[in-house]
Amino acid sequence: MQTKRFVFFILLVSFFPFIHLTAQNNVIDEVIWIVGDDAILKSEVEEQRLRAQYEGVPIQGDPYCVIPEQIAIQKLFLHQAQLDSIVANESTVNSQVEARLNYFVSQIGSKEKMEEYFGKKTTELREDLRQIIREQMIIQQMQQKLVGDINPTPAEVRRFFKQLPEDSIPVVPAQVELQIISYQPPVSQQEINRVKQRLLDFTERINSGNADFSVLARLYSEDVESAKRGGELGFLGRGQLVPEFAAVAFNLQDPKKVSRIVETEFGFHIIQLIEKRGDRINCRHILLRPRISEEEKEKALHTMDSIANLIRSGKITFEQAVMYYSQDKNTALNAGLMLNEKTGTSKFEYQDLPPEISKIAYNMNVGEISNPFIMIDPKTHKEVIAIIKVKSKIPNHKANLVDDYQLIKTFYENKKKEEFLRDWIIKKQKETYISIDPAWRNCEFQYPGWIKN
């Protein structure tokens, strides 16, 4: 959608380290556009152009035409949002800011390197990001309010599809629907004790001053992403953490102390407080996962093989087996049917499945039950034993109303929304005072109505 692309562009190009561009490039600042009561400065455009060039973000067309137009469109939405009293949820803004800062740290290597890279302190970066993300959220809410009532009827969808030229009908990649039974083999108490003792050893070394928590997290934590940041999770609300972890983390008071060992669905943790800020907390953790013995894996594979044979022989249905044996809480109440979080449906393209499942399902027939296999649970990252059943397969095909109604409806709905927002921008151009410096008018704008005679 064109009206959303400018938001993404501005968000991207606002994160990179050209802090002193005006001074370094001898840019004499001047007002080049006025949109309503807001000015667009030459320095804004130059900074965004250089940032995009530095980061390799493509700009379709002359940047001195594209960038100011994108900023102007942004200002139209923000002005309307102000009139409609639309504001961003500050808790969500803060969460996204911290997630973005954590991402930067993970990519750059450390908080200190991030500050050096951007040429700003973390506090300054946080405020910059907060403003950018707040405006992005407000614009998205404004757009959603404008197009919220667009919901085409089945008759409209059918009429739209019949009018599509043959060469415009999209090709739908192969899709599959799967049911799954998964079982996590038990971990021996000896292995659990081993992991707990290792965490106790870490705790003793940290509390005695013989080791640094962040160093141990980098070396040993099995939470790969946070380990890159010395175990740091960033500021999170209680609801963003699993309950067992949150209960301990939010009760920590002394940043120099290490928590007791905490067990969650992901494994065993120790936690260190960094900072509390209102209803959010920033802490470090070290995660260790007990290993399942080869003997237990073999026993589980044998058990799941027996279950698969019971289903194949008709002595039990797959749905009954799910009810009796499956430990996958995400599918146990849905007859084992896997749901695609990306689309909200039960249909998956093979690339969207966990790799172990995709590889096996690709060569199976509809109704077939797989042999048991070992896979990594995508949510807990623990090893589980699984069997799958192929409920349906749809090969590569041109979209049709029988198999792909929802896809066609979404395509048509997005087209209608894009047209509505384009018309809205054209209407706002006519209602808004707009002035462009003559030196900046020689452009082929996406929306020609900026220049008024």
Q: Of residues 277 and 251, which shows the higher confidence score? A: 251
| pLDDT recorded at residue 55 | 61
Q: Domain span at residue 232?
A: 189-288
| pLDDT recorded at residue 163 | 92
3-class SS letters over 124-192: HHHHHHHHHHHHHHHHHHHHHHHHCCCCCCHHHHHHHHHHCCHHHCCEECCEEEEEEEEECCCCCHHHH
Domain count, the chain: 3
Q: Are residue 258 and residue 134 in the same domain, yes or no? A: no
Three-class secondary structure of residue 312 per DSSP: helix
What the block records as the tokens of 186 is 């038990």
Q: Are residue 41 and residue 109 in the same domain, yes or no? A: yes
| pLDDT recorded at residue 378 | 84
253 by Cβ neighbours in 10 Å (0-12 / 13-18 / 19+) ranks as exposed
Q: Of residues 115 and 47, which shows the higher confidence score? A: 115
Give the chain's mean pLDDT: 88
Q: Are residue 264 and residue 319 in the same domain, yes or no? A: no
| pLDDT recorded at residue 28 | 59
Is the model's pLDDT at 77 over the cut of 60?
Answer: yes
| pLDDT recorded at residue 21 | 37
Find the length of the chain: 453
398 secondary structure, DSSP code: E
Q: What mean pLDDT is predicted for residues 184-212? A: 94
Residues 382-402: pLDDT tens digits? 899 999 999 999 999 999 998
Is the model's pLDDT at 8 over the cut of 50?
Answer: no
Q: Are residue 89 and residue 235 in the same domain, yes or no? A: no
Question: Residue 383: which of 373, 372, 375, 394 has the closest Cα?
Answer: 375
What's the whole-model pTM score? 0.65
How much of the chain, in percent, has pLDDT values that exceed 90?
63
223 by Cβ neighbours in 10 Å (0-12 / 13-18 / 19+) ranks as buried
| pLDDT recorded at residue 110 | 80
Residue with tokens 């415009």: 168
Distances (CA, A) of 217 to 97, 199, 228: 23, 11, 8
* DSSP letters spanning 223-238: -HHHHTTTTB--SEEG
- 170 found inside a domain: no
Residue type, 46: E
Give me the CATH number covering residue 338: 3.10.50.40
Q: Are residue 179 and residue 195 in the same domain, yes or no? A: no
Q: Are residue 434 and residue 389 in the same domain, yes or no? A: no
Is the model's pLDDT at 380 over the cut of 90?
Answer: no
| pLDDT band at 51; cut points 50, 70, 90 | low
Give me the CATH number covering residue 88: 1.10.4030
Q: Are residue 180 and residue 146 in the same domain, yes or no? A: no
Q: Are residue 7 and residue 59 in the same domain, yes or no? A: yes
Three-class secondary structure of residue 218 per DSSP: helix
Let me know the angle formed at the C-alpha of 178 by 177 and 181, rounded to the nearest 5 degrees.
Answer: 165
**Residue 276 CA neighbour count, 13 Å, CB half:** 13
Q: Are residue 146 and residue 68 in the same domain, yes or no? A: yes
| pLDDT recorded at residue 299 | 94
- 121 found inside a domain: yes
Distances (CA, A) of 344 to 173, 339, 362: 17, 7, 21
| pLDDT recorded at residue 20 | 36
- Cα 424 to chain centroid distance, Å, stands at 29
Residues 298-337: pLDDT tens digits? 999 999 999 999 999 999 999 999 999 998 877 877 889 9
Q: Are residue 146 and residue 50 in the same domain, yes or no? A: yes
| pLDDT recorded at residue 54 | 58
Residues 336-361: pLDDT tens digits? 999 998 888 899 999 999 999 999 99
Contact 363, 217 (CB under 8 A): no
316 secondary structure, DSSP code: S
What the block records as the tokens of 170 is 């999209």
